[in-house]
Chains A and B, each alone.
Chain A
Amino acid sequence: DTAVSQTPKYLVTQMGNDKSIKCEQNLGHDTMYWYKQDSKKFLKIMFSYNNKELIINETVPNRFSPKSPDKAHLNLHINSLELGDSAVYFCASSQLSSYGYTFGSGTRLTVV
Chain B
Amino acid sequence: GENVEQHPSTLSVQEGDSAVIKCTYSDSASNYFPWYKQELGKRPQLIIDIRSNVGEKKDQRIAVTLNKTAKHFSLHITETQPEDSAVYFCAARVTGNQFYFGTGTSLTVIP
Chain A residues with CB under 8 Å of chain B are 31, 40-45, 48, 50, 55-56, 90, 94, 96, 99-106
The residues of B that contact A43 with a CB separation of less than 8 Å are: 44, 89, 101, 104
Chain B: number of interface residues, binned into ranges: 20 to 34
The residues of A that contact B69 with a CB separation of less than 8 Å are: none
The residues of A that contact B36 with a CB separation of less than 8 Å are: 103
* A96 close to B97 (CB less than 8 A): yes
* B43 close to A103 (CB less than 8 A): yes
State the CA gap A45–B49 with chains docked (Å): 19
The residues of A that contact B32 with a CB separation of less than 8 Å are: 99
**Given contact pairs A42-B101, A43-B101, A45-B99, a sample of 19 additional A-B residue pairs in the complex whose CB atoms are under 8 Å apart:** A40-B103, A41-B38, A41-B104, A42-B103, A43-B89, A44-B101, A45-B98, A48-B98, A56-B96, A90-B43, A94-B97, A96-B96, A99-B34, A99-B51, A99-B97, A100-B34, A101-B97, A103-B45, A106-B42
